């Protein structure tokens, strides 16, 4: 039971409406078509917001699902209606880009637990008529992938040509390959890992505690009182943002440079450029992201440990896989370091899977996967071209 609707933009209260009635496409599932969650609960009715680019071919064999990261959204290659900014991966996705929408049909959906149209803590709980807040069951990466699989069913696609994503998006890619091996022809997890490490969880906990320490958080019921824990959420974003960059890139970009002043003020203003930059990052983030959503989505990442689902063995997660894998990591990424990708590669080798692995030299830390890194583009283009050849669909390079 589902229906497709496309809502027109309204300039008033745009952001608040995006979590209920997004500007993007929307698939809705009624109470009798609930989503079964890892927590043991059923979620329904529920909805998933998504965007598509390019054209699905007649055989339905050219669909690529792009999975977004923690604070990403479905607007991978189109303007985000809240920020008015270009899509978050326009360097990679678009006509003539590495994920070429002239040739591939690209789908990107907002994750379950998100706040841009897919059911999340900012959505209205149909059984109470008020915003879910913490009444929403805790979501896992596998739940996000289950929701995406339902969307892919809804679009009438049995096998995805590729599932691609960075960071938390890469976790979803690995989960897709493990949960639905026959539905994933090629998988590209970038700057990802098959589990969240203790250090990863630690940073997320700092962020969550910052949100919960904000008096406006009100045990997650801030919507009722029409306030927002913006200070806490901004601090969470600031702490997280540091983990996305490398020491080297911070040093190059900011060094110890002072912000709009010639001398230290002997106070606690943003004397340093890095302070000013982080404050700006925090402040702009709260305009586009819901604090409870941040709690849910970080929790989903923390709970992710793919091996655990398969009796403690990552090898079992990929047993008999026919999927072609291409993993990428970045030398300066200390949040999802190369060693994490390499342990996935080792598990894939143990089943003699078809796997490529490229470690890319970049000094820009975890965020490299979102940036202008030519080797990332070349690897993506080359891998997809080889996979398209194997799949028997025309690849961009070989098209006339």
Partner 1 sequence: MVASLVPMGARVLDIGSEDGALLDHLTRERRVDGRGIELSQAGVNRCVARGLSVIQGDADKDLSDYPDQAFDVVILSQTLQATREPKQVMSELLRIGRQVVVSIPNFAHWRNRMQLLFRGRMPVTKYLPYEWYDTPNIHFCSLRDFVALCRELDADVDKAIALSAKGNKIPVSAPWWVWNIVAEQAVFLLKR
Task: Report the catalytic residues.
Answer: 167, 333, 366
Ramachandran area for residue 129 (φ above 0: left; ψ -120 to 50: alpha; else beta): left
Residue from 44, 181, 386, 394 binding partner 1 (CB under 8 A): 386
Q: Does 389 bind partner 1 (CB under 8 A)?
A: yes
Site for partner 1 in 203-262 (CB under 8 A): none
From the list 11-19, 198-206, 215-223, 385-393, the region that binds partner 1 by CB under 8 A is 385-393
Cβ atoms < 10 Å from Cβ of 302: 21
**113: Cβ contacts below 8 Å, ≥ 6 apart:** 119, 120, 121, 136, 139, 143, 144, 293, 296, 297, 300
Tell me, residue by residue from 360 to 379, as one string, x for binding to partner 1 by CB under 8 A and - for no binding.
Answer: xx-------------x--xx
345 binds partner 1 (CB under 8 A): yes
In this structure, the chain runs to a length of: 400
Give me the least distance between CB of 156 and partner 1, in Å please.
29
Q: How far is the CB of 308 from partner 1 (least distance, A)?
A: 21
Ordered alpha helix ranges (H), 155-290: 168-179, 198-213, 222-225, 230-244, 247-253, 273-286
**Between 141-154 and 291-303, two packed helices, what is the crossing angle to 10 degrees?**
100
Residues 323-342: x/- map of binding to partner 1 (CB under 8 A)?
Answer: -x-x----------------
Among 167, 292, 298, 356, binds partner 1 (CB under 8 A): 356
Asked if residue 122 lies in contact with residue 112, where contact means CB atoms within 8 angstroms, the answer is no
* 192-200, 243-251, 284-292, 348-356 -> range binding partner 1 (CB under 8 A): 348-356
CA 362 from chain center: how many Å? 21
Sequence-distant (≥ 6) Cβ neighbours of residue 282 within 8 angstroms: 233, 234, 235, 237, 238, 241
CB of 332 to partner 1, least distance (A): 14
Q: Which residues bind partner 1 (CB under 8 A)?
A: 324, 326, 345-346, 349-352, 354-361, 375, 378-379, 381-383, 385-387, 389
């Amino acid at each position: 039971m589902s229906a497709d609707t496309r809502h027109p933009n309204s300039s008033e209260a745009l952001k608040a409406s995006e979590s209920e009635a997004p500007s993007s496409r929307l698939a809705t599932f009624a109470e009798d078509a609930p989503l079964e969650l890892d927590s043991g609960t059923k979620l329904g009715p529920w909805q998933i917001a998504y965007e598509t680019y390019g054209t699905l071919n007649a055989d339905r064999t050219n669909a690529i699902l792009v999975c977004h990261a923690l604070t990403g959204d479905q607007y991978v290659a189109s303007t985000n209606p809240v920020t008015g900014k270009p899509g978050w991966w326009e360097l990679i996705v678009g006509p003539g880009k590495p994920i070429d929408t002239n040739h591939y049909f690209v789908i990107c959906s907002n994750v379950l637990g998100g706040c841009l149209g897919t059911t999340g803590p900012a959505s209205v709980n149909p059984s109470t008529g008020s915003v879910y807040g913490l009444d929403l069951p805790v979501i896992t990466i596998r739940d996000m992938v289950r929701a995406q699989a339902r969307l892919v069913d809804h679009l009438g696609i049995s096998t995805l040509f590729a599932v691609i994503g960075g960071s938390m998006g890469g976790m979803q890619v690995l989960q897709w390959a493990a949960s639905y091996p026959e539905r994933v022809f090629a998988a590209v997890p970038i700057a990802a890992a098959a589990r969240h490490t203790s250090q990863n969880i630690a940073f997320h906990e700092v962020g969550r505690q910052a949100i919960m320490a904000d008096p406006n958080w009100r045990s997650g019921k801030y919507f009722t009182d029409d306030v927002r824990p913006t200070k806490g959420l901004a601090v969470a974003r600031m702490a997280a943002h540091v983990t996305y960059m490398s020491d080297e890139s911070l040093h190059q970009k900011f060094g110890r440079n002072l912000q709009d002043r010639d001398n230290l003020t002997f106070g606690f203003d943003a004397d340093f450029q890095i302070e000013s930059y982080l404050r700006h990052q925090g402040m702009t983030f709260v305009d586009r992201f819901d604090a409870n959503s941040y709690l849910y989505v970080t929790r989903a990442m923390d709970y992710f440990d793919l091996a655990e689902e398969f009796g403690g063995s990552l090898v079992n997660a990929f047993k008999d896989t026919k999927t072609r894998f291409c993993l990428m990591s970045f030398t300066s990424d200390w949040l999802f370091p190369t060693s994490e990708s390499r342990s996935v590669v080792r598990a894939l080798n143990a089943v003699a899977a078809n796997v490529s692995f490229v470690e890319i030299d970049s000094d820009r830390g975890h965020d490299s996967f979102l940036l202008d890194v030519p080797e990332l583009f070349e690897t993506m283009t080359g891998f997809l071209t080889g996979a398209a050849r194997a799949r028997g669909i025309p690849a961009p390079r070989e098209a006339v």
